[in-house]
Amino acid sequence: PRKGAEVADITEKSLLDVLEIRRALEELSAQLACDRITKEEIQELVKEAEGFKRALKSKDVTEIAEADVRFHDVIYLATKNQKLIQLLNNLREQMYRYRVEYLKKEDVYPQLIREHEEIIEHISKKEKEKATQIVCQHIDNQMDTVMGVIRMKNN
């Protein structure tokens, strides 16, 4: 992406378009991961959640965003569905811009940590409905926060 391609050229419509797709794909990822995740992948998920918590202390938004990407990547890979992983990778750059914008808000960090822990808990217990619920909430929170940022910049 262009340097400086900040919120200025992010519209509410582009945010909605990307996050609606991400929400659906994350929902599917969570469901498939519940069925297919291995013990090793659950350990990897726990490790990445810890890495995310450590990254938060750095206050470096890029580092935090990359740690968040690694956490979600474990879930995507656990689906064992190459087409799904490919679709998510195609959206990666667009999702990244919104993720960075979201992660600039430090007050969301405790909630993100909680959501990551709940995602791990429900996927490892193979509780599809609860895992899906948390993943959707996770994306909706991001959407609401970034939407607020866009509206503030446009006013």
- Please calculate the CA angle 11-134-78 and round it to the nearest 5 degrees: 95
- Res. 102 pLDDT band, cuts 50 70 90: very high
What are the pLDDT digits (tens) for 69-99? Answer: 999 999 999 999 999 999 999 999 889 988 9
In the predicted model, what is the mean pLDDT of the chain?
A: 92
- Please calculate the CA angle 85-49-46 and round it to the nearest 5 degrees: 85
Claim: this prediction has a pTM higher than 0.75:
yes
Query: What confidence score (pLDDT) does residue 5 get?
Result: 45
> At residue 10, does pLDDT exceed 80?
no
Query: What confidence score (pLDDT) does residue 150 get?
Result: 85
Q: How far is CA 135 from the centre of its chain?
A: 8
